[in-house]
Amino acid sequence: MLLLLVSICLLHLMTIIFLIIATANNVWWTTDDYGTDIWKGCFYSNGTCFAIDYKSLDESLQAIQACMVLAVIFSCCGLFVFICQLFTLNQGNRFIFTGVFQLLACLCVVIAASIYTIYFHRDDKTGWYGSSYVLAWLCFPLTLASGIMYTILRKRE
């Protein structure tokens, strides 16, 4: 049982780290000349990044930003609640609140990644999706799996 709890906790920590990297890193879309993320664009010249902030944010970009930040917050709250429930929950009860937080994080990630996929770079012929975009999509099944595991998991001695 201890091995299962440690592995689930490590999965949760790995998911939080991936979410933070996907939210903060500047590689949602990249070409040879520039890279963009959900916060700013970066044009490369002689190996130096010249950041260009998004002055006029449209609603879809704001929704992506909000969903990714909420996913990080929900996942961190889920880990905190899991640790609290680990010591206070009665034997035989389930980690429902932790599972709910993880499922909310899962929902936020899939909304953010879907909006980015639908509204940005559909018609671009040059460039490719970056590692942060891939990490965001990778966080979707990870948070879904951990959320399901938490709701199924019962506290035992």
Q: Is the per-residue pLDDT at 88 higher than 60?
A: yes
- How far, CA to CA in Å, does 55 sit from each of 19, 39, 63? 25, 10, 16
Closest CA relative to residue 105, chosen from 77, 133, 63, 65: 77
Q: Does position 78 have pLDDT exceeding 70, yes or no?
A: yes
Q: How confident is the model at residue 70 (pLDDT cuts 50, 70, 90)?
A: very high
**pTM score, two decimals?**
0.86
CATH class of the domain comprising 2-29+57-152: mainly alpha
Task: Sort 16 into a burial class: Cβ within 10 Å, 0-12 / 13-18 / 19+.
Answer: buried
Domain limits, the chain: 2-29+57-152
Q: Which residue has the tokens 């590689």?
A: 27
